[in-house]
A = this chain, B = another copy of it.
Amino acid sequence: MSTTQERTAEQDLPYDVFSRACPSRGTLEHVTGRWGALTLGALYQGSFRFNELRRRVDGVSEKMLAQTLHALERDGLVHREAQPTNPPRVDYELTALGREVAGRLLALIECVEGRMDEVLASRERYDERRTPTA
């Protein structure tokens, strides 16, 4: 083990997502994953029931939404409020922490959406360049 601690002079946060073993990687994936991101984005608008969310997040399956909500709840980003009525009613909403994270996420999403024209144009150029002219 001659591994010298190659500190890359970034910052001194206790967690470093660039490191393979950091737990923040897992959370980041829950947040940025396909359904995690959209779910957080949807919940930024308010409180919703399970099937309301399913409709808002177009294309998500029951299974994936449940799984996503579990992960986000476990990470403390989403609060699950279940009423023991019949039929059952369960509401999901962001926690304070979740709202913070979702805010940054929304900023990112809006940034990407706002620049999609550039992205699409770039793609065309890229594909053209590679297309065999023959």
Q: Which residues of A contact B (CB under 8 A)?
A: 8, 10-11, 13-20, 23-25, 27-29, 31-34, 37-38, 41-42, 45, 56-59, 73-77, 97, 100-101, 104-105, 107-116, 118-123, 126-127
Query: Within 8 Å CB of A104, what residues of B?
Result: 104, 107-108, 111
Are A76 and B121 in contact (CB-based, < 8 A)? yes
Contacts of A15 in B (CB 8 A): 113, 116
Q: How far is the CB of A118 from chain B (nearest CB, A)?
A: 6
Q: Please name the residue on chain B nearest to A46 by beta carbon.
A: B8
Closest to A74 in B: B126
Indicate how many identical chains form the complex: 2
Which residues of chain B are near A59, meaning CB under 8 Å? 20
* A28 CB to nearest B CB, Å: 5
Assess the B17–A38 pair: CB atoms within 8 A: yes
In contact, B58 and A119 (Cβ under 8 angstroms): no
* Besides the known contacts A20-B58, A24-B109, A24-B113, 10 further A-B residue pairs in the complex with CB atoms under 8 A apart: A13-B110, A19-B58, A23-B120, A24-B116, A28-B112, A31-B112, A74-B123, A76-B118, A77-B119, A101-B108
